[in-house]
Amino acid sequence: MADQRDSWDQFIPELNPIRFKDFTAADVHAVRAVAHGKANEDQQKRAIKYIIEHVCETYNEQWRADPSQKDVAIGRRAVGLNLVWLVDKAILKLSKAGNVKQEVREAFEKRGKDDKL
């Protein structure tokens, strides 16, 4: 007797990349404060984390059964990866080009892993 195999689709979460992402009031206030140039340090960190992790879904699986949804998810991730690169790596490229003071470069290289996204 052959085993009954289920479709892989049943194991893939129903993720519509076009729908609005879940958010809290704190997320909304943080993003709005950044947009208006009035965010404190915690709001800035919360906003960029929310955008990278939830809006861009940078660390989520990108595969979708629907090709158009998969394309949207891949595009979101590309934006998220660019933001992560700007936050974590771009300063090194600027410093090598002489566009950043030596003390800024050294401080960036010494920072702890907790500061990374």
Give per-residue pLDDT as tens, 41-53: 999 999 999 999 9
* Amino acid at the residue 9: D
Residue 48 CA: distances (Å) to CA of 8, 36, 52, 58, 100: 34, 14, 6, 12, 23
- The pLDDT confidence band at residue 92, using thresholds 50, 70 and 90, is confident
Mean pLDDT of 97-113: 65
Residue 102 CA: distances (Å) to CA of 19, 80, 86, 87, 98: 44, 28, 18, 18, 9
Whether residue 55 has pLDDT greater than 70: yes
Give the side-chain half-sphere CA count within 13 A for 23: 18
- pLDDT tens-digit readout, 69-83: 899 999 999 999 999
- pLDDT tens-digit readout, 9-32: 555 555 665 667 788 999 999 999
